[in-house]
Structure 1
Amino acid sequence: MAAVSTRRWFVAGDLNGFFGLVVDNLSILGFIAAALIGIFGFPADVVYTRMFPGTAFGVLVGNLIYTWMGRRLAQRTGRDDVTSMPLGLDAPTSIGMALLVLGPSFVAYKQQGMDEQAAAIATWQLGMASLMVMGTLKLVLSFFGDAITRAVPRAALLGSIGGAALTLLGFLPLIETLRSPVVGFVTFGLLLYVLVAKGRLPIRIPGVLLAFIVGTLLYYGLGLAGLGTPGFKMPEAAPMRFTLPLPTLGFLEGLPQTVPYLPLLLPFGLLMVVGGINVSESARAAGDDYRTRDVLLAEAVSTLAAGLCGGVAQTTPYIGQPAYKHMGARIGYTLLTGLFIGLGGVLGYVSGLVQWLPIAVLAPIIVYVGMDITVQAFHDSPRRHAPAVALAFLPSVAYLLVIKLGNPAWIAPDRFAALYSAVDGHGLPDLAAIVTLGNGFIITAMIWSSALVAMIDQRFRRAAAVLLVGAGLTLFGFIHSVDPRGSIYLPWTLEGLPRAIAWQFAGAYVALALLLGLLSLQRHADPAGTETGARPDH
């Protein structure tokens, strides 16, 4: 009897899983579009007809693989309660791509004299190339994921992304939420009610879907009644366009342009590997024993497929596999989601749905994601490492300031350059220190947090080694780049103030590493509080 039931493709609970997973993906696509078009003035046709089809194709490929993996596990075990791994667009890195890579690069291309359409195409090629870089990294690391998680403390991995979550996924979308206060605040409050407070709803419907419906109706209802925010207007109906996500070598044009963004792209890829390992463990604890390497390989393949076909946002297995199992979802929900999103990118109805979802309705779910990741950074790290998690948040604050202060609408480029180099005899210029701290902030956070974790664990020589790695990365601009754009460089090519800043920051790491090395020679207390002598692993 069990052998027959495992061959069922769909059960009633798959509809709950389908709605939840589709809303997650639509919200991320919507925020990408809102950020690029609304914040950076990106041409909408490039977003909807070039970026979205390939991005959606990656979701299709990944969910088809996970559906097959789930069905294979069900047939092998003879169980009828196997739930597929959910796959979708990764919220932190997808939004990070829009806000930190694609948007700024589009503005930079226009400042270099490109017309809007040419700048948009160049940015699209950069986005494709970025996905190929991250996908290749994930493909290689999928075979070494466990070793990576053993080498880098969890507080460093989660703290570095937690800082980005709090500032970039929490604060920036919160501002967008409150630009339409009534709509945004009500939507955000309803999300907190269903997702955080676990409040009951009067009807059986996914809570996130209900929040989207209420917020959207409120937005258009107030707007049509003349009570909405100033400047309200109905979106133009987008024509349905058939766009096949065909493979293209356009990413080759963008590969050289990815170099300045490697300090962002490499941690993005690394974090997805670590996240994939954690998701596999979560599914295993829920009773579905998927092989970790297979989960990671499927994630890498779907990201590469998206990048090859024009996508700009990487896919990842979602952490909520047990939650989908509790909804009653089994194998069919990932198949339905993959087909809906994938075909929506081809036929254009995903773009239509995204255009009608107001940013004040989309942004709150991103704020919630930022909160959830921030909480996870503390919750899933050892309690004694909490100071290291908090320390990892600080570089992201600097990058938040860089984003805002680097906006030409706030500070003109010539004024920004003057402030950057305004030496006053009291140390480095404030803006230079902020920019240098913010550039490469994710890797910086991992270095700082890893060093502090080692110190907390009384492994001072390990901390010194980590700091020396930080010094090397600093000299070449992988972290603390003295180029306001965050580019990497050869240290001997620098001149003047940038040269002084680079060598002083690198020297700071070396000085602290030497000090810790000397301190490791004395007797000290171990984490349990007992006094010990110097040991090689300190």
Structure 2
Amino acid sequence: MSASGPSPSIHRPRWFVPADLNGFFGLVVDNLSILGFIAAALVGIFQFPAEVVFARMFPGTALGVLLGNLAYTWMARRLAAKTGRDDVTAMPLGLDAPTSIGMALLVLGPAFIGFKQQGLDPNAAAIATWQLGMASLVVMGAFKLALSFAGDWITRVLPRAALLGSIGGAALTLLGFLPLIETLRNPVVGVVTFGLLLYVLVAKGRLPVKLPGVLVAFLIGTALYYGLGLSGLGAPGFQLPDPLPLSVQLPWPSLGFVEGLPHTVPYLPLLLPFGLLMVVGGINVSESARASGDDYRTRDVLLVEALATLVAGLCGGVAQTTPYIGQPAYKHMGARSGYTLLTGLFVGIGGMLGIVAGLVQWLPVAVLAPIIVYVGLDITTQAFHESPRRHAPAVALAFLPSIAYLLNIKLGNPGWIAPDHFASLFSTSDPHGFSDLAAITTLGNGFIITAMLWAAALVALIETRTRAAAGILLLAAALTLFGVIHSVDPRGGIYLPWNLEGLRQAIAFQFAAAYAALAVLLGLLSLQKPGTSA
């Protein structure tokens, strides 16, 4: 028998570390808060039957979260084994906040009203709306799947300031400011919870108990909310929710989406940008994770989110999944791969058993919101830290379009209320040009892609690649004409420019001409001989 040397050892990372509990509670709260918003919008604003939301929409939606987090857990363990490192953090996956808001307010809610206006009773209209939601998710999932293979190429051609700056702006506004407003609507609960989170996560302060800091903040905030509310000392409007009975709802694959497919046609100008937004976001978060030290392949990250969205739609889901922009925040917490495994199992199985629906009713928004604010702050900080210092102006510039999108949400984008009144609301009576409302709404539509183009163009100028900057601006002009950025559809949809009329056409052509004119000017400046500039 021949002797053989010892076989090479295979690195086996631990399944769980203590900090995974912090990451678990943070990621679960993110997902529960979005599910809570979907339920509040559909049931509270549009009087949608709660049974359809909780028993039909939630299980399939939760299944997408389960499958995506299981896949990302496996990817993290594979990377840890390959590199021999114990500090690899899994990519967090959950429901996308902006498009979940958009689906509830711009697709599902208005469609439900439309079906009722066609003569359907509320239950039948709710089922038809659910099928439309399924079909919408299938369309977006298939679209993302087709675009996933371009991810690596995009990360090679776009500078880090463009990738991180655009997502940093979204983090500051959508994950920072908006949840901060919800935090302050119940000041005692919100400020105490937020301050305790900053103490344990940012200042790394010690607690007298051996429990995860996020859990302690969560428990104290929830106790304050119900304690003050029941004693009559809380914020106005406190009331206990009606408990839901637990029931098993398995998200089996269904052909119900087929019946909803014809109804998606009017919403395609909205659904396709939603899908494109997630691909761009997936590219950005892959770059964000890479900057924090975990080199995941962009294509793999995009394929997982696309397949998770597609399967969720086939099984009854109505909100698309996405890799969250908070991977560095979870890494700073000390979380590894166990937190995504725990989150996937909890949300997925809890969604099937009705536990998630029950929790959504009982969790106070003032306790949920501060955790999202922390993630937003961490990502915003990383955008500056991980970009070259000379590119800092480009990072800052990339924040501005997201502020316009924030104003759209808080001021009330006219498309959310009455799209037919778009032209009348966009007045041209101002002698200085288009109205503030027109400028804000047009800048906010397609804000992430706009931010990436602006930052990329400025980086090219900083690096004296003037012709490259001109080319980026010409691309922006073309995208503007079709509504990919600066859409004059109040809902942010795409269109054919020759179908526009009146004020919409004037706005679209003016914005496109602005980019083209600047591109021509930069092209002429690039013709100067070296050393002749002032």
Q: Same fold (TM over 0.5)?
A: yes
Please, what TM-score do these two structures have when normalized by structure 1?
0.84
Q: Aligned partner of 1:175: which letter?
A: I
Residue in 1 aligned with 2:235? 229
Sort the Cα spacing of 1:232 and 1:74 in 2 relative to 1 into closer, same or farther, 3 A.
Answer: closer
The Cα shift of 1:216 comes to 0.3
Please, what TM-score do these two structures have when normalized by structure 2?
0.84
In the alignment, is residue 437 of structure 1 matched against residue 439 of structure 2? no
The Cα shift of 1:170 comes to 1.8
The Cα shift of 1:133 comes to 4.8
In the alignment, is residue 218 of structure 1 matched against residue 224 of structure 2? yes
In the alignment, is residue 252 of structure 1 matched against residue 261 of structure 2? yes
Q: Aligned partner of 1:448: which letter?
A: W
Residue in 2 aligned with 1:33? 36
Residue in 2 aligned with 1:505? 511
Q: Which of the numbers 177, 180, 198 marks the counterpart of 1:171? A: 177
Contact 1:58 1:315 in 2 (8 A): no
- For residues 442 and 427 of structure 2, the distance between their equivalents in structure 1, rounded to whole angstroms, comes to 12
In the alignment, is residue 152 of structure 1 matched against residue 137 of structure 2? no
Contact 1:51 1:310 in 2 (8 A): yes
Sort the Cα spacing of 1:179 and 1:457 in 2 relative to 1 into closer, same or farther, 3 A.
Answer: same
Comparing 256-265 with 389-398, which one deviates more in the overlay? 256-265
Summarize deviations over 1:436-488 as a string: whole Å, max 9, x none.
22222222222222211111111111111111111111111112222222222
- For residues 328 and 380 of structure 2, the distance between their equivalents in structure 1, rounded to whole angstroms, comes to 20
Contact 2:13 2:77 in 1 (8 A): no
- For residues 126 and 107 of structure 1, the distance between their equivalents in structure 2, rounded to whole angstroms, comes to 11
Residue in 1 aligned with 2:24? 21
Q: Aligned partner of 1:259: which letter?
A: P
Sort the Cα spacing of 1:40 and 1:276 in 2 relative to 1 into closer, same or farther, 3 A.
Answer: farther
**SS of equivalent residue, structure 1 residue 89:** strand
Contact 2:280 2:449 in 1 (8 A): no
Sort the Cα spacing of 1:45 and 1:158 in 2 relative to 1 into closer, same or farther, 3 A.
Answer: farther
Query: Once superposed, what is the RMSD of the aligned Cα atoms?
Result: 3.6
Q: Aligned partner of 2:29: which letter?
A: L
Which sections of structure 2, spanning at least 5 residues, go unmatched?
1-5
In the alignment, is residue 88 of structure 1 matched against residue 93 of structure 2? yes
Residue in 2 aligned with 1:515? 521
The Cα shift of 1:419 comes to 3.3
Residue in 2 aligned with 1:536? none
Which sections of structure 1, spanning at least 5 residues, go unmatched?
525-530, 534-538
In the alignment, is residue 383 of structure 1 matched against residue 389 of structure 2? yes
Sort the Cα spacing of 1:453 and 1:407 in 2 relative to 1 into closer, same or farther, 3 A.
Answer: closer
Q: Which of the numbers 489, 497, 501 marks the counterpart of 1:495? A: 501
Summarize deviations over 1:39-77 as a string: whole Å, max 9, x none.
745634343223321222123223433455566678889
The Cα shift of 1:136 comes to 3.8
Q: Which of the numbers 236, 241, 246 marks the counterpart of 2:247? A: 241
Describe how 1:435-514 pairs up with structure 2 within 5 A. 435-514=441-520
Q: Which of the numbers 416, 419, 427 marks the counterpart of 2:433? A: 427
Q: Aligned partner of 2:199: which letter?
A: Y
Q: Aligned partner of 1:88: which letter?
A: L
Sort the Cα spacing of 1:9 and 1:384 in 2 relative to 1 into closer, same or farther, 3 A.
Answer: closer
Q: Which of the numbers 35, 51, 62 marks the counterpart of 1:56? A: 62
**SS of equivalent residue, structure 2 residue 451:** helix
Q: Which of the numbers 325, 329, 345 marks the counterpart of 1:339? A: 345
**SS of equivalent residue, structure 2 residue 93:** strand
Summarize deviations over 1:159-209 as a string: whole Å, max 9, x none.
222222222222221111111110011111111111111111111221111
Sort the Cα spacing of 1:22 and 1:365 in 2 relative to 1 into closer, same or farther, 3 A.
Answer: closer
- For residues 488 and 153 of structure 2, the distance between their equivalents in structure 1, rounded to whole angstroms, comes to 32
Describe how 1:320-331 pairs up with structure 2 within 5 A. 320=327
**SS of equivalent residue, structure 2 residue 251:** coil
**SS of equivalent residue, structure 1 residue 228:** coil
Comparing 342-351 with 37-46, which one deviates more in the overlay? 37-46
In the alignment, is residue 195 of structure 1 matched against residue 201 of structure 2? yes
Residue in 2 aligned with 1:102? 104
Sort the Cα spacing of 1:36 and 1:372 in 2 relative to 1 into closer, same or farther, 3 A.
Answer: farther
Contact 2:92 2:326 in 1 (8 A): no
- Number of aligned residue pairs: give it: 516
Contact 1:26 1:350 in 2 (8 A): no
Comparing 121-130 with 308-317, which one deviates more in the overlay? 121-130
Residue in 1 aligned with 2:361? 355
- For residues 13 and 208 of structure 2, the distance between their equivalents in structure 1, rounded to whole angstroms, comes to 31
Sort the Cα spacing of 1:52 and 1:432 in 2 relative to 1 into closer, same or farther, 3 A.
Answer: same
Describe how 1:413-424 pairs up with structure 2 within 5 A. 418-424=424-430
In the alignment, is residue 314 of structure 1 matched against residue 321 of structure 2? yes
Comparing 367-376 with 272-281, which one deviates more in the overlay? 272-281
The Cα shift of 1:407 comes to 6.1
- For residues 345 and 2 of structure 1, the distance between their equivalents in structure 2, rounded to whole angstroms, comes to 44
The Cα shift of 1:510 comes to 0.8
Contact 1:31 1:95 in 2 (8 A): yes
Residue in 2 aligned with 1:265? 275
Contact 1:477 1:489 in 2 (8 A): yes
- For residues 293 and 440 of structure 1, the distance between their equivalents in structure 2, rounded to whole angstroms, comes to 23
Q: Aligned partner of 1:28: which letter?
A: N
Contact 1:60 1:339 in 2 (8 A): yes
Summarize deviations over 1:400-455 as a string: whole Å, max 9, x none.
22223336899988887533134244322222222222222222222222211111
- For residues 390 and 34 of structure 1, the distance between their equivalents in structure 2, rounded to whole angstroms, comes to 30
Sort the Cα spacing of 1:452 and 1:111 in 2 relative to 1 into closer, same or farther, 3 A.
Answer: farther
Q: Aligned partner of 1:199: which letter?
A: G
Residue in 2 aligned with 1:305? 311
Sort the Cα spacing of 1:27 and 1:333 in 2 relative to 1 into closer, same or farther, 3 A.
Answer: closer
- For residues 326 and 183 of structure 1, the distance between their equivalents in structure 2, rounded to whole angstroms, comes to 23
Percent identity of the aligned residues? 59
Sort the Cα spacing of 1:228 and 1:508 in 2 relative to 1 into closer, same or farther, 3 A.
Answer: same
Contact 1:59 1:87 in 2 (8 A): no
Q: Which of the numbers 373, 395, 398 marks the counterpart of 2:379? A: 373
The Cα shift of 1:340 comes to 2.4
Comparing 398-407 with 110-119, which one deviates more in the overlay? 110-119
Contact 1:283 1:321 in 2 (8 A): no
Q: Which of the numbers 200, 212, 231 marks the counterpart of 1:206? A: 212
Residue in 1 aligned with 2:3? none
Contact 1:17 1:329 in 2 (8 A): yes
Summarize deviations over 1:364-403 as a string: whole Å, max 9, x none.
1112222222222222222111111211222222222222
- For residues 397 and 417 of structure 1, the distance between their equivalents in structure 2, rounded to whole angstroms, comes to 23
Contact 2:69 2:340 in 1 (8 A): yes
- For residues 119 and 148 of structure 1, the distance between their equivalents in structure 2, rounded to whole angstroms, comes to 42
The Cα shift of 1:265 comes to 3.1
Sort the Cα spacing of 1:3 and 1:231 in 2 relative to 1 into closer, same or farther, 3 A.
Answer: farther
Sort the Cα spacing of 1:390 and 1:74 in 2 relative to 1 into closer, same or farther, 3 A.
Answer: closer
Contact 1:155 1:386 in 2 (8 A): yes
